[in-house]
Amino acid sequence: MESAEVARRFLKFFEERGHLVVPSASLVAEDPTLLLVNAGMVPFKPYMLGQRTPPSQRMTSSQKCVRTPDIDEVGKTTRHATFFQMLGNFSIGDYFKEQAIPFAWDLLTKPQSDGGFGFPEERLWVTVFHDDDEAAEIWNKKVGVPAERIQRRGMADNFWSMGVPGPCGPCSEIYYDRGPEYGREGGPVVDEDRYLEVWNLVFMQFERGAGEGKEDFPILGPLAHRNIDTGMGLERMAAVLQGVENIYETDTLWRVLDRAAKLTGTSYGREHRADVSLRVIADHVRSGTMMVADGIRPGNEGRGYVLRRILRRSIRNLRLLGAQDAGLMHELTDVAIRAMGEQYPELIRTAANIHTVIDAEEESFLSTLRTGTAIFDTAVAETRGAGAKVLAGEQAFKLHDTYGFPIDLTLEMAAEQGLSVDEDGFRRLMKEQRDRAKQDAREKKTGNLDVSVLDALLTEAGGQVDFIGYGHLIGEARLVGLLVNGANVPAAGEGAEVEVVLDRTPFYAEGGGQLADTGVIRLGSGAHIEVRDVQSPLKGLIVHRGVVRGGEARAGDTAYAEVDVERRHAISRSHSATHLVHAGFRRALGESAAQAGSENSPGRFRFDFTASGAVPVSVLRDVEDEVNEVLINDLDVRAFHTSIDEARAMGALALFGEKYGDEVRVVEIGDYSRELCGGTHVARSGQLGLVKVLGESSIGAGVRRVEALVGIDAFRFLARESVLVNQLSEQMKTRKEELPERISGIVTRLREAEKELEKVRAQQVLQAAAGLAEQAADLNGIAFVGHRAPDGTGADDLRKLAVDVRGRLQGRPAVVMVAGAPKDRPVVVIALTEGARERGLKAGQLVGLAAKTLGGGGGGKDDLAQGGGADAGRIGEALAAVERAVGAA
């Protein structure tokens, strides 16, 4: 039974029993305490906590999840994985144990021909919390499980809570006996390798207090409304039903693993190290694909860092298996998309965009590996130069933290050089970093996001604030509620910062890249509120943020909402222009140029899209010309609502990674552009006036950003450009069209002149070498030259001078120190003869002494080293410090 069929049967079973099938939420968690959805119950958490009203008291889902705390264990075992899917059924104050337990048993044991999973009853065992007699009795008396196959366990195994004060309760887990060849008899309390957990039923019936760990907390009492939360791991269930040893041999993961083996010329099951790498690749490619599909982009912090680490571990393990070339991730990603596409059709629709992001990250990391290798070689040279055989933990950590160099790669390369790595030091620094991150997370963590106040206001507004802003910029409404510092208040006086909820409003809440409206809300009492921002923290709720200006605002007041018309129109022009530019780039670059974000401001917009590399200037110019032709044609702009399936059928573009409901709003600009969009737009394309593309740049791996001006802002920009070009034409005494060639010629001549000047300066610096060698001071038999070069002398010239002077002092112990301040920052170079090294002196140590005085650092070989700092005013002190050190040798 394939994984997609396992999910289909589970959802169908519960749908037939009155459960609402809830589509998988995005991996991007709404809960601010989570980076990613890490459990099937996460999207249902607000309902279970009573913070929001559930759409149904009975729900079921197949939820995408990502967990990474044990990422280093992935591949080493066949149990660990980062991406997994949780099948669950949920009861919010509806049925409880007496129905949840028979539901589970029925689905598991019902023959496959009748829509069940067909487990033999005699091979199923259950566990219950040690004092949960109620569950034990249901299993035994109602379901018919023999008492000897019902085992009791303590809080560590069979009691659930979220780790913070709130709902909690006992669990009952269902285990499948895989047979004596997998371990000892005696049930799950004896051997959990033989007895495999397939389903966990959580009976949420108590409230817990504060405490640590899984057991050290008080039970405060029963909940007013009891809930059911169950979880069945889809991958684990698929492994059992497909008769394979572990999740990596199930249909979806195996397809990626098998392809990775073929691409790298290896075979799974022959050699442990290769198997570990293949499992890492299979899991991480699938995880990365699913994360990118949900709009996550590789980055250096937050969920972007999680994605980057997952993708780079994949690439690293491909390298361990002998793959050196780019492009393998593209093929493996394609396999993952096809493997998961039946369950998640959006993967097929957005395949080009997923490839663009992952391909770019692969290329970026391969470049990082090249850079990191150069840094590694320097670290090896320094280690050997110090006579050591162990690469310092600080160096390994720097390679990992700064250059993204995996520690296992550092270990491998060090071994090839005959060195080991101070792993304890590396782990200590990693632990310190993790502890800092955990502390930051604890400080930021607010527990459960309490939206109950907002939910109550939404209910007061009739369950949906009516947005009238598409057709009206002013409208009468009722002030439903006032919030001050998050608390619902009956009134707020002049000067108070407030959040206002109206039952209907023309104000557009920030979303879809469009900035929020501003304006004023005038109240029947005579007070008015200056609106500075508008947000939608809950679906259907619009919150106006502002300051009370004059009088007292009171809940229940009649309100007259007035949007800043000029700002709204300017933003609407930008939003329509964004749609046109999006369409233009897709025509020019293909479907892979998918929107990855935008910001529509008054008169200006930025548009982010996926691309494998920089966009040529010629393409920018062509897109700009094409968009402005659309403006001249003055196309009609039409918005309408339809089903998501109908919108897709007519080719409407959806924002990559965005989630949509069953009904969507489509915005058409003639036949040129058609997108799903909830924003505001112009009535006709000609109202934009003009679009001027300013340029494009990279904002991350596989993502480019275009910035442009619209309307009067574009006209003003071109007017300034025209004045500037006229001024240049007059100064250069040439026609406008000849300016580029004329300026290019001037720049070329300037560069040639600068090169000549550099040569002259270098000659002047080197001419001083003979005199400096003759003036060397004698410090206990060591010739010492300490020279400050003129400011502006380049670092290369300083180095040449030091080496030249040293050459004139060969045959005797000599130390040459040359310092200068190129570009206002001090640089010091120290060169030693062989005689000075025989006296125990080392250039690297002396440079370190000088650089420390200058407020910086440096290093190098024993005979030649270079450093720098931040304080050029202390060059004299640095010279003196080195002179004293040489004199004491």
> For residue 164, what are the domain limits?
3-243
Amino acid 447: pLDDT = 40
For 133-149, write each residue's pLDDT tens digit. Answer: 999 999 999 999 999 99
- How far is 292 from 286, CA to CA, in rounded Å? 10
Note whether residue 738 is domain-resident. Answer: no
- pLDDT, tens only, 781-819: 999 999 988 877 788 888 889 999 999 998 899 999 999
Residue 437's pLDDT is: 64
C-alpha to C-alpha distance for 350 and 337, rounded to whole angstroms: 10
Give the model's pLDDT for residue 21: 95
Annotated binding residues for Zn(2+), as ranges?
Answer: 575, 579, 677, 681
Highest mean pLDDT pick, 157-161, 301-305, 385-389: 157-161
Region 688-699: mean pLDDT is 92
pLDDT for position 735: 87
pLDDT digits (tens, 9 = 90+) for 243-272: 999 999 999 999 999 999 999 999 999 999
- As a whole number, mean pLDDT of residues 352-365 equals 87
Q: How confident is the model at residue 212 (pLDDT cuts 50, 70, 90)?
A: confident
Domain boundary among 368, 392, 411: 368
| pLDDT mean over 391-409 | 80
| Of the candidates 308, 424, 428, the residue with the CA atom closest to the CA atom of residue 357 | 308
289-300 confidence digits (pLDDT tens): 999 999 888 887
What CATH number is given to the structural domain containing 634? 3.30.980.10
Q: Choose the weakest-confidence range: 440-444, 588-592, 749-753.
A: 440-444
User: Residue 539: what pLDDT?
Assistant: 83
Has residue 134 been placed in a domain? Answer: yes
* Any domain includes 743: no
What's the confidence (pLDDT) of residue 445? 38
303 and 344 inside one domain: yes
Q: Do residues 172 and 66 share a domain?
A: yes
- Inform me whether the pLDDT recorded for 239 exceeds 90: yes
In this prediction, what percent of the chain has a pLDDT beyond 90?
A: 58
- pLDDT over 90 (residue 280): yes
Q: Is residue 446 part of a domain?
A: no
Residue that finishes a domain, picked among 509, 531, 561: 561
Residues 155 and 198 in one domain: yes
Lowest-confidence region among 171-175, 374-378, 444-448, 860-864: 444-448
pLDDT exceeds cutoff 90 at 132: yes
Mean pLDDT of the chain: 89
Show the tokens assigned to 772: 């400096």
Per-residue pLDDT of 433-486, as tens digits, reads 777 765 654 444 334 445 678 878 888 888 889 999 999 999 999 999 999 888
Asked if pLDDT for residue 518 goes beyond 50, the answer is yes
Whether residue 258 is contained in a domain is answered as yes
The more confident residue out of 501 and 613 is 501
Together in a domain, 614 and 515: no
Last residue of a domain, one of 505, 529, 561: 561
- Residue 440 domain-assigned? no
Largest Cα separation within the chain, whole Å, is: 105
Both 534 and 629 in one domain: the answer is no
Report the domain count for the chain: 5
* Poorest-pLDDT segment among 64-68, 837-841, 867-871: 867-871
- Give whole-number Cα distances, 771 to 632, 801, 804, 827, 850, in Å: 75, 12, 11, 22, 24
Q: Quick one: which of 318, 338, 321 has its CA closest to 329?
A: 318
Res 446: pLDDT: 35
CATH of the domain at 784: 3.10.310.40
User: With bands split at pLDDT 50, 70 and 90, how would you rate the model's confidence at 278?
Assistant: very high
In a domain, 408, yes or no: no
Q: Answer yes or no: do 585 and 674 share one domain.
A: yes
| pLDDT given at position 660 | 66
Local structure of 632: helix, strand or coil: helix
Given a cut of 90, is residue 869 above it in pLDDT? no
Q: Binding site residues, as ranges? A: 575, 579, 677, 681
Let me know whether 113 and 142 are in one domain: yes
Residue 136 sits in a domain whose CATH number is 3.30.930.10
Same domain, 237 and 287: no
Query: What was the pLDDT predicted at 658?
Result: 59
State whether 532 and 640 are in the same domain: no
Q: Are residues 202 and 317 in the same domain?
A: no
CA distances to 105, 762, 776, 804, 880 from 833, rounded to whole Å, are 84, 23, 13, 11, 20
The enclosing domain of 524 has a CATH number of 2.40.30.130
Evaluate if residue 273 carries a pLDDT over 80: yes
The pLDDT, as a whole number, for residue 62 is 96
Mean of pLDDT values over 22-38 = 86
Report the C-alpha gap between 485 and 404 in whole angstroms: 42
Q: Is residue 821 part of a domain?
A: yes
Q: Is the dihedral of CA 287, 288, 292, 293 positive or negative?
A: negative
Query: Are residues 163 and 124 part of one domain?
Result: yes
Q: How far apart are CA 495 and CA 865, in angstroms?
A: 63
The per-residue pLDDT for range 335-351, each reduced to its tens digit, is: 999 999 999 998 998 89
Please determine, for residue 58, whether its predicted confidence score (pLDDT) is greater than 70.
yes
Question: Could you tell me how far CA 81 lies from the centroid of its own chain?
Answer: 19
Cα–Cα dist 361/298, whole Å: 7
Average pLDDT of span 224-237? 93
Please classify residue 160 by burial: count the beta carbons closer than 10 Å to its beta carbon, then call 0-12 exposed, 13-18 middle and 19+ buried: buried
Same domain, residue pair 622 and 638: yes
Comparing 612 with 564, which gets the higher pLDDT?
Answer: 564
